[in-house]
């Protein structure tokens, strides 16, 4: 049985409760604004996806007729709980929401929906939202790192650690004390769930993971604020999360560098619309093809050198049965890169899924375990491919970081372009509306009240921001 120092969770909770906007470094505030825009783009891109439509219907059937919180894809209003539920599902559909390397967590898709819903209900400022978001990212990333690589083999960390991340963000916004924050963590941890088995069948569970993480985290914080108690040692206790969900948990990760390293600035933007485990090899392949001026027909075979977690997650998808499952196929993603030159949101559709050329080329790709790649993971996601040409020659390419990583970041201009493309994907917002949202994001710290992510809608009804 694991034995951990029992004060680490309290130390983390104390730090999270004490966060204030004025104490946040400028780089953290600026990154929060960038991640906010990135999240909105991903949320809009999920409009009309079957899992999102179903959850919207559930929200309409079981939730209130109206409310203070905004469902981004439909612009309907609901309670914070149901708005968080739908927005979290929507922002995880096209696989372009942010990701943190060492925790293997998608923090934005669970933290922003929960915090935004409560901020709208409570009349919070943009600075309040940024502070709460920072707290949620800090908690989720540290808990994901704490649970370790063994956890990720079976559990989708965004569903598990993400539930606690959302709880912390909301609890911070509710201005709770340390003991109440611990209760919020306990309430969230006992609900934390998300299993990778869905991927074998192409089921819709991944969107349920994020939907429930955001909604259950929000519920956990509100319960705690009303006096509903949760286990203070939900992380490190004898029957807590580490005991049941990990064999390599490291409690030092919960408090490592508190106030010195910031999860927000370590978080990556996703450039390709596919599982992050495919990105390093995809970037290495496209760089190799450009360097040697190769066309797809020149290539006979591709070996993608990967870490073990990539094999664990992607290895079950050989012949994808759905567009979403194709995003978890290394062969399919590399085929898109080779034949189309990109694997963006518009490249993944039913026509591409059944394209015989893409299918045929994808079978040229194999994944091979690489000890060097695995040793660097999850702190660094190295990319390496070996390409066998039609004439028998072999050439290799290795990259140190995928595009969008903190070591190869997207500029604000690139983030704006990405958000515009995501919003246009299912016509969820016009270009003019997105320009307003971009201005809102870049001014988030100064927003007095964030009633809507669509400023023009507020202007039409006489509200101000």
pLDDT for residue 463 is more than 80: no
- Predicted pLDDT at 203: 93
Residue 459 inside a domain? The answer is no
| Domain finish residue from 268, 289, 306 | 268
- Predicted pLDDT at 3: 56
Pair (66, 175) in one structural domain:
yes
CA distance 83 to 86: 5
pLDDT for residue 323 is more than 60: yes
State the pTM of this model: 0.94
Residue 282 inside a domain? The answer is yes
CA distance 177 to 179: 6
Pair (150, 297) in one structural domain:
no
Per-residue tokens: 462? 């006489």
- Predicted pLDDT at 462: 36
Give yes or no for a contact between 168 and 115, defined as CB atoms under 8 angstroms apart. no
pLDDT for residue 193 is more than 70: yes
CB burial class (10 A; 0-12, 13-18, 19+) of residue 65? Answer: exposed
Residue 430 inside a domain? The answer is no
Helix (H) or strand (E) holding 300: strand 299-306
Pair (244, 121) in one structural domain:
yes
Segment 166-171 shows an average pLDDT of: 99
Pair (210, 353) in one structural domain:
no
Pair (223, 282) in one structural domain:
no
Find, among 219, 251, 218, the residue nearest to 237 by Cα.
251
pLDDT for residue 391 is more than 50: yes
Q: Residue 29: which CATH number?
A: 1.10.4100.10
Q: Which residues of 239-277 are buried (b: 16+ CB within 10 A; e: fewer)?
A: ebbbbebbeebebebbbeeeeeebbbbbbbbbbbbbbbb
Interior CA angle at 60 toward 165 and 75, to 5°? 70
Per-residue tokens: 239? 């029957």
Segment 406-417 shows an average pLDDT of: 96
Per-residue tokens: 248? 């390599």
Residue 440 inside a domain? The answer is no
CA distance 56 to 230: 30
pLDDT over 90 percentage in the chain = 94
Q: Look up the domain containing 169 and give its range.
A: 8-268
Pair (264, 281) in one structural domain:
no
Find, among 266, 264, 267, 268, the residue nearest to 134 by Cα.
264
Give yes or no for a contact between 66 and 78, defined as CB atoms under 8 angstroms apart. yes
Q: Residue 365: which CATH number?
A: 3.30.1330.120
- Predicted pLDDT at 464: 37
CA distance 101 to 85: 25
Pair (140, 258) in one structural domain:
yes
End-to-end CA distance of the chain: 52
pLDDT for residue 446 is more than 80: yes
- Concatenating the DSSP letter of every residue in 177-220 gives -HHHHHHHHHHHHTT---BTTHHHHT-SHHHHHHHHHHHHHHHH
Residue 447 inside a domain? The answer is no
- Predicted pLDDT at 459: 43
Chain Cα centroid distance, residue 121: 24
How many other CB atoms sit within 10 Å of the CB of residue 457? 15
Pair (256, 282) in one structural domain:
no
- Using pLDDT thresholds of 50, 70 and 90, give the confidence band for residue 4: low
Pair (183, 156) in one structural domain:
yes
CA distance 116 to 87: 10
Segment 361-372 shows an average pLDDT of: 97
| Domain finish residue from 369, 399, 429 | 399
pLDDT for residue 188 is more than 60: yes
pLDDT over 70 percentage in the chain = 97
Radius of gyration of the chain (CA): 21
Find, among 260, 261, 187, the residue nearest to 230 by Cα.
187
Number of domains in the chain: 2
Pair (145, 239) in one structural domain:
yes
pLDDT for residue 460 is more than 70: no
Residue 3 inside a domain? The answer is no
Phi-psi region of 218 (alpha: psi -120 to 50; beta: other; left: phi over 0): alpha
pLDDT for residue 32 is more than 80: yes
- Mean per-residue pLDDT of the chain: 95
Segment 273-279 shows an average pLDDT of: 97
- Predicted pLDDT at 317: 81
Phi-psi region of 250 (alpha: psi -120 to 50; beta: other; left: phi over 0): beta
Residue 292 inside a domain? The answer is yes
SS3 state of residue 301: strand
Helices (H) then strands (E): counts for the chain: 22, 8
Alpha-carbon dihedral sign for residues 73, 76, 79, 80: positive
- Using pLDDT thresholds of 50, 70 and 90, give the confidence band for residue 201: confident
Segment 205-222 shows an average pLDDT of: 98
pLDDT for residue 2 is more than 90: no
Residue 24 inside a domain? The answer is yes
pLDDT for residue 301 is more than 60: yes
Calculate the alpha carbon distances from 226 to 180, 183, 230 in Å.
Answer: 9, 10, 12
Pair (240, 102) in one structural domain:
yes
pLDDT for residue 212 is more than 90: yes
pLDDT for residue 236 is more than 50: yes
- Using pLDDT thresholds of 50, 70 and 90, give the confidence band for residue 148: very high
Q: What is the pLDDT of residues 325-337, one digit of tens each?
A: 999 999 999 999 9
CA distance 161 to 209: 11
| Domain finish residue from 252, 268, 284 | 268
- Using pLDDT thresholds of 50, 70 and 90, give the confidence band for residue 458: very low
pLDDT for residue 227 is more than 70: yes
Per-residue tokens: 261? 């390293």
Give yes or no for a contact between 210 and 193, defined as CB atoms under 8 angstroms apart. no
Q: Is the peptide bond preceding residue 378 cis, with omega within 30 degrees of 0? A: yes
How many other CB atoms sit within 10 Å of the CB of residue 299? 21
Q: What is the pLDDT of residues 173-185, one digit of tens each?
A: 999 999 999 999 9
Q: What is the DSSP letter of 94?
A: S
Give yes or no for a contact between 115 and 74, defined as CB atoms under 8 angstroms apart. no
- Predicted pLDDT at 200: 85
- Predicted pLDDT at 465: 36
- Using pLDDT thresholds of 50, 70 and 90, give the confidence band for residue 166: very high
Pair (355, 261) in one structural domain:
no
Q: Which residue reads 């469902």 in tokens?
A: 71
Find, among 231, 233, 269, 267, the residue nearest to 251 by Cα.
233
């Amino acid at each position: 049985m694991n034995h951990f120092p029992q004060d680490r969770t309290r130390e983390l909770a104390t730090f999270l409760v004490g966060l204030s906007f004025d104490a946040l470094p400028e780089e953290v505030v600026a990154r929060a604004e960038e991640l906010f825009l990135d999240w909105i783009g991903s949320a809009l891109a999920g409009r009309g996806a079957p899992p999102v439509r179903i959850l919207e219907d559930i929200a309409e059937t079981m939730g209130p007729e109206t409310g203070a919180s905004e469902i981004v894809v439909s612009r309907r209003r609901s309670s914070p709980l149901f708005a968080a539920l739908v927005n979290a599902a929507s922002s995880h559909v096209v696989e372009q929401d942010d990701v943190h390397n060492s925790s293997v967590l998608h923090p934005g898709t669970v933290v922003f929906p929960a915090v935004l819903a409560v901020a709208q209900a409570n009349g919070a400022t943009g600075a309040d939202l940024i502070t709460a978001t920072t707290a949620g990212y800090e908690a989720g990333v540290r808990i994901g790192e704490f649970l370790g690589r063994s956890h990720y083999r079976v559990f989708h960390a965004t569903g598990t650690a993400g539930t606690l991340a959302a709880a912390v963000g909301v609890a911070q916004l509710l201005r709770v004390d340390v003991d109440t924050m611990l209760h919020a963590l306990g309430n969230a941890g006992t609900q934390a769930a998300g299993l990778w088995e869905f991927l074998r069948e192409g089921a819709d569970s991944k969107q349920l993971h994020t939907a429930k993480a955001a909604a259950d985290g929000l519920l956990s914080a509100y319960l705690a604020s009303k006096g509903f108690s949760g286990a203070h040692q939900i992380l490190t206790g004898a029957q807590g999360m580490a005991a049941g969900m990990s064999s390599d948990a490291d409690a030092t990760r919960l408090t490592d560098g508190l106030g010195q390293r910031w999860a927000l600035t370590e978080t990556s933007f996703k450039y390709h619309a596919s599982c992050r485990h495919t990105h390093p090899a995809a970037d290495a392949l496209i760089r190799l093809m450009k360097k040697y001026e190769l066309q797809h027909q020149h290539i006979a075979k591709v070996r993608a050198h990967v870490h073990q977690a990539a094999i664990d997650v992607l290895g079950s998808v050989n012949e994808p049965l759905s567009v979403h499952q194709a995003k978890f196929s290394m062969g399919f993603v590399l085929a898109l890169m080779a034949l189309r030159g990109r694997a963006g949101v518009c490249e993944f559709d039913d026509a591409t899924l059944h394209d015989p050329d893409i299918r045929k080329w994808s079978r040229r790709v194999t994944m091979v375990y690489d000890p060097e790649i695995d040793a660097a993971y999850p702190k660094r996601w190295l990319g390496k491919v070996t390409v066998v040409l039609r004439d028998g020659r072999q050439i290799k390419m290795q990259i140190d970081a995928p595009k969008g990583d903190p070591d190869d970041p997207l500029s604000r201009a690139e983030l704006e372009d990405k958000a515009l493309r995501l919003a246009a994907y299912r016509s969820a917002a016009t270009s003019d509306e997105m320009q307003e949202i971009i201005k809102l994001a870049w001014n988030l710290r100064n927003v007095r009240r964030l009633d809507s992510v669509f400023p023009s809608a507020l202007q039409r009804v006489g509200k101000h921001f």
